[in-house]
A and B are shown apart, each in its own frame.
Chain A
């Protein structure tokens, strides 16, 4: 199996790096954590350690500039025992990796690797273990995702640092600090079938192994009461997550279990447009059609955070909403006329977001309180305009930030939107990419919303809600005409923003959007 190595996030505001030097050559055998290349950003140089042991396949060459998250190289995983390497170095990738899939267990080495919470971003000091993908006693491969972590900003997948048998130390739901040990990997510890063969060694040996593997055999074993409940519900214990010791199924687990109508448990990549209105995908699945009933799911850490924050905003701000309508015909005319040329020239499509973002940037500069924060008894005015865009991601709503929108042109905005939306969809957004916006735009129109009152993205002071574009009869110069109309809503914190400012801001936006020439001329 090949591990794709990508440019890691190296710090806030660093969006791209240059490959300074390849320390290893293409085809070299590299070990896990061995430095393979040096990267440079405009701020500093970084050493890039290999994420796996195996054969290096370089993708990006020295001198190339790559965005964060871009592919640098592949590591073709394989045994790196030197004697094997010498004999048949070229055969490693395919054959050996296949072997490993079936029997990832190597000979037991006795080495125990700690799984630590990695640093996931500046200012993040703790994360919640949202889900263990693997159970204690499971055999994991190197870089196989073993658990999902959540901060209040994002979710992260945690790959196994080594191949071996997993022992979980911190349960799901635990809040742990960065660098805390949450699990151990008995490196190369073997599966049951293998240990049985060599079972008749010393009497001390099995006892030593217990700590790591004793729980595995009982996973999904229902208690007597749970067994009866599951039998009556027609649920195979294999499909139930046991919360008891070693994955045993308790009576409560059985009571909470629901029948899985088909085995499409939890799609990994749901369609991004659809998930927003649904609850975050949990560990249980839908009820079969012939059953009525309700089911309970634990809220994910992200969902809990969203819930807490939204209520806090409603309670702690003086929020209200002002509305207006925008005749979209001029923008649609411009798009019709220039979208092909724009795409050809800039490599990105010309959407509505660039118009709205640009218009907001201009209007926000004219109404600085709307671009401000309240901080205690003070108001922080920002002389830059960082616009957060609400994007549906598989795990819920995320709000990546378009930085310095006031400096960007239409093409710059569009490419940022595409880049951030793609990363959001792939759960690849970094914390820095989601922090520090000064104003938010949310577009409920893509789901068909006609009108809504969005909630402010704290600590910001205002949020613009875009909606669907509907052809409506409007009076133009005493004539009824059919025009594509979008209602817009601005929710704002009345504590700092007066009605005059908020209404004027929205009117100004309407003016800019209905007559885009004004954006060009800044009038």
Chain B
């Protein structure tokens, strides 16, 4: 069988690329090694974690917040199997949705492990041991990423877990050590902390979510400590993780270089992810990876060194985010069709689904400082916002960084209820290079969380926030 485009991997980058290619009139095939489409995001990432985050948030609210709202509940307990089952249903529904989309767009789906035979031929090794080869003018590599692991971490999938296993626990752990307080660690740590697990973060960097604006990490840590009683150890380097049967022992070096040990029922390894190109047989196509396992691509076209092969998502440079991969999937399909799309990587928002949520776009204050950009900052706390007070979700703040001279918005950082949705306004505004005053002069409905963005913009414009 000969295709115009073959996509390897059906995650949010791959399946979106396939749909767009098909929309543009190309005969398209997609290869997925698992039985279900959707990749990490849909099966063991964004969607299931969000399902559990919301379930656990409901429980947390019922346990700790309902009374304040005047709702008393006598007996409250977590039904973990049901919670996991619901999560599975959500995932199943999404899987079916993607399958439907493939059918609708007349995309041929091949289940099996895809690997290159040569630059235009891909072999599919199926579960039943059979093999099939398909040919394509163009091949898009969208194989995603896997959790980063070191041998000394002894990942046993029983007590020492990655995010994948942590999404399918059938009991609520009494205690859990989360190694790595980045996005994944913060999110899954939150899930279990809300369900009553005693969570301890061990992080090599100096703060939570260290890649984001430092004010976000500080605020997040404060609220997690306050609401979920988490503990955190920064500048601490893990040297050993050991399953001792009933518990896990983590050995680390602290700031001062002293050896410290932590013990808990479970340990979650969330130190990051690596591009997943194992057994893809890149060499047969004439490709290789860089020192970090990534496939190098042209900055604008995402074309690899082999002209008919493109790569998108977690296997190439840039943030490992589903929506980044989606944009790249669309871009590559359009590039192949002869169009000339462009992605503004600076304006791909980053989101952390803790509660409060964290979301940001553009430059952090630290980046502006080190680049020597003259900027001004305006921030607004949710405490001063009517809607936040009414809902009882008044943790967090909106912070807007704008060019000191032109007032152009350079970065927006939000921590608070619904930050993940709120960031969209900032992205839109920045795509149009709006100034802080532009946002400040746009009507925002009342009472909404979005008013905090307007107030922060007012603060950035000339320190003239109305409500603080």
Specify which chain A residues have a CB less than 8 angstroms from the CB of B435 in the assembled complex.
210, 214, 218
Whole-angstrom CA separation of A242 from B431 in the bound complex: 15
Say yes or no: is B135 at the interface (Cβ < 8 Å to chain A). no
Partner of A199, one of B342, B374, B434, B438: B374
Whole-angstrom CA separation of A421 from B349 in the bound complex: 63
Shortest CB distance A109–B (Å):
18
Specify which chain A residues have a CB less than 8 angstroms from the CB of B405 in the assembled complex.
192, 195-196, 199, 206, 213
**Is the Cβ of B462 less than 8 Å from the Cβ of A204?**
yes
Question: Which among A99-107, A120-128, A223-231, A470-478 touches the partner chain?
Answer: A223-231
Chain B 432-454 interface 0/1 with A at a Cβ cutoff of 8 Å (1 = within): 11110110000000000000000
- Tally of chain A residues near chain B (CB < 8 A): 26
Interface of A (DSSP majority class)? helix
Interface of B (DSSP majority class)? loop
**Is the Cβ of B406 less than 8 Å from the Cβ of A213?**
yes
**Is the Cβ of B339 less than 8 Å from the Cβ of A228?**
yes
Say yes or no: is B318 at the interface (Cβ < 8 Å to chain A). no
**Is the Cβ of B374 less than 8 Å from the Cβ of A214?**
no
User: Closest residue to B340 on the A side, CB-wise?
Assistant: A231
**Is the Cβ of B342 less than 8 Å from the Cβ of A216?**
no
Say yes or no: is A203 at the interface (Cβ < 8 Å to chain B). yes
Partner of B431, one of A200, A210, A223: A223
Whole-angstrom CA separation of A218 from B402 in the bound complex: 14
Shortest CB distance B24–A (Å):
14
Say yes or no: is B392 at the interface (Cβ < 8 Å to chain A). no
Say yes or no: is B33 at the interface (Cβ < 8 Å to chain A). no
Whole-angstrom CA separation of A178 from B279 in the bound complex: 77
Specify which chain B residues have a CB less than 8 angstroms from the CB of A232 in the assembled complex.
339-340
Specify which chain B residues have a CB less than 8 angstroms from the CB of A214 in the assembled complex.
406-407, 435, 437
Interface residues in A192-223 (C-beta closer than 8 Å to B): 192, 195-196, 199-200, 203-204, 206-208, 210, 213-214, 216-218, 221, 223
**Is the Cβ of A207 less than 8 Å from the Cβ of B404?**
no
Contacts A192-B405, A195-B405, A206-B407 known; A227 to B342 CB distance under 8 Å? yes
Chain B 327-361 interface 0/1 with A at a Cβ cutoff of 8 Å (1 = within): 00000000000011110100000000000000000
**Is the Cβ of B341 less than 8 Å from the Cβ of A217?**
no
**Is the Cβ of A217 less than 8 Å from the Cβ of B464?**
no
Say yes or no: is B43 at the interface (Cβ < 8 Å to chain A). no
Say yes or no: is B463 at the interface (Cβ < 8 Å to chain A). yes
Say yes or no: is B194 at the interface (Cβ < 8 Å to chain A). no
Specify which chain B residues have a CB less than 8 angstroms from the CB of A224 in the assembled complex.
342, 344, 431
Specify which chain B residues have a CB less than 8 angstroms from the CB of A204 in the assembled complex.
462-463
Say yes or no: is B379 at the interface (Cβ < 8 Å to chain A). no
Whole-angstrom CA separation of A248 from B435 in the bound complex: 13
Partner of A210, one of B341, B432, B437: B437
**Is the Cβ of B406 less than 8 Å from the Cβ of A192?**
yes
Contacts across chains A and B counted by CB atoms under 8 Å:
69
Specify which chain B residues have a CB less than 8 angstroms from the CB of A203 in the assembled complex.
376, 462-463
Shortest CB distance A297–B (Å):
26
**Is the Cβ of B406 less than 8 Å from the Cβ of A217?**
yes
Chain A 236-257 interface 0/1 with B at a Cβ cutoff of 8 Å (1 = within): 0000000011001000000000
Say yes or no: is B198 at the interface (Cβ < 8 Å to chain A). no
**Is the Cβ of A248 less than 8 Å from the Cβ of B432?**
yes
Specify which chain B residues have a CB less than 8 angstroms from the CB of A248 in the assembled complex.
432-433
Partner of A221, one of B340, B374, B432, B437: B432
Whole-angstrom CA separation of A227 from B435 in the bound complex: 19
Contacts A203-B376, A231-B340 known; A217 to B403 CB distance under 8 Å? yes
**Is the Cβ of B464 less than 8 Å from the Cβ of A196?**
no
**Is the Cβ of B404 less than 8 Å from the Cβ of A196?**
yes
**Is the Cβ of A207 less than 8 Å from the Cβ of B462?**
yes
Specify which chain B residues have a CB less than 8 angstroms from the CB of A210 in the assembled complex.
407, 435, 437, 461-462
**Is the Cβ of A221 less than 8 Å from the Cβ of B464?**
no
**Is the Cβ of A218 less than 8 Å from the Cβ of B342?**
no
Specify which chain A residues have a CB less than 8 angstroms from the CB of B432 in the assembled complex.
218, 221, 223, 244, 248
**Is the Cβ of A231 less than 8 Å from the Cβ of B407?**
no
Whole-angstrom CA separation of A223 from B403 in the bound complex: 20
Whole-angstrom CA separation of A227 from B342 in the bound complex: 8
Specify which chain A residues have a CB less than 8 angstroms from the CB of B341 in the assembled complex.
228, 231
Shortest CB distance A300–B (Å):
30
Specify which chain A residues have a CB less than 8 angstroms from the CB of B339 in the assembled complex.
228, 232
Shortest CB distance B392–A (Å):
34
Contacts A214-B437, A231-B340 known; A199 to B464 CB distance under 8 Å? no
User: Closest residue to B407 on the A side, CB-wise?
Assistant: A214
Interface residues in A392-450 (C-beta closer than 8 Å to B): none
Specify which chain A residues have a CB less than 8 angstroms from the CB of B434 in the assembled complex.
218
Specify which chain A residues have a CB less than 8 angstroms from the CB of B187 in the assembled complex.
none
**Is the Cβ of A199 less than 8 Å from the Cβ of B433?**
no
Specify which chain B residues have a CB less than 8 angstroms from the CB of A216 in the assembled complex.
406
Whole-angstrom CA separation of A500 from B342 in the bound complex: 73
Specify which chain B residues have a CB less than 8 angstroms from the CB of A196 in the assembled complex.
374, 404-405
Specify which chain A residues have a CB less than 8 angstroms from the CB of B404 in the assembled complex.
196, 199-200, 206
User: Closest residue to B403 on the A side, CB-wise?
Assistant: A217
Chain A 168-209 interface 0/1 with B at a Cβ cutoff of 8 Å (1 = within): 000000000000000000000000100110011001101110
Specify which chain A residues have a CB less than 8 angstroms from the CB of B408 in the assembled complex.
217-218
**Is the Cβ of A221 less than 8 Å from the Cβ of B433?**
yes
Interface residues in B365-381 (C-beta closer than 8 Å to A): 374, 376
Whole-angstrom CA separation of A314 from B405 in the bound complex: 57
Specify which chain A residues have a CB less than 8 angstroms from the CB of B340 in the assembled complex.
228, 231-232
**Is the Cβ of A207 less than 8 Å from the Cβ of B342?**
no
Shortest CB distance A206–B (Å):
6
Specify which chain A residues have a CB less than 8 angstroms from the CB of B461 in the assembled complex.
207, 210
User: Closest residue to A215 on the B side, CB-wise?
Assistant: B435
Specify which chain B residues have a CB less than 8 angstroms from the CB of A244 in the assembled complex.
432
Shortest CB distance B468–A (Å):
15
Whole-angstrom CA separation of A221 from B432 in the bound complex: 7
Shortest CB distance B319–A (Å):
19
Shortest CB distance A178–B (Å):
31
Residues of B within 8 A of A (CB): 339-342, 344, 374, 376, 403-408, 431-435, 437-438, 461-464
CB-CB nearest 4 A-B residue pairs: A207-B462, A231-B340, A217-B406, A218-B433
Q: Can you sample 6 A-B contacts with CB below 8 Å? A: A204-B462, A207-B461, A214-B406, A223-B432, A224-B431, A228-B342
Given contacts A203-B376, A231-B342, 16 further A-B contacts (CB under 8 A): A195-B405, A199-B405, A200-B374, A204-B462, A206-B405, A206-B407, A207-B437, A207-B461, A214-B437, A217-B403, A217-B433, A223-B432, A224-B431, A228-B340, A245-B438, A248-B432
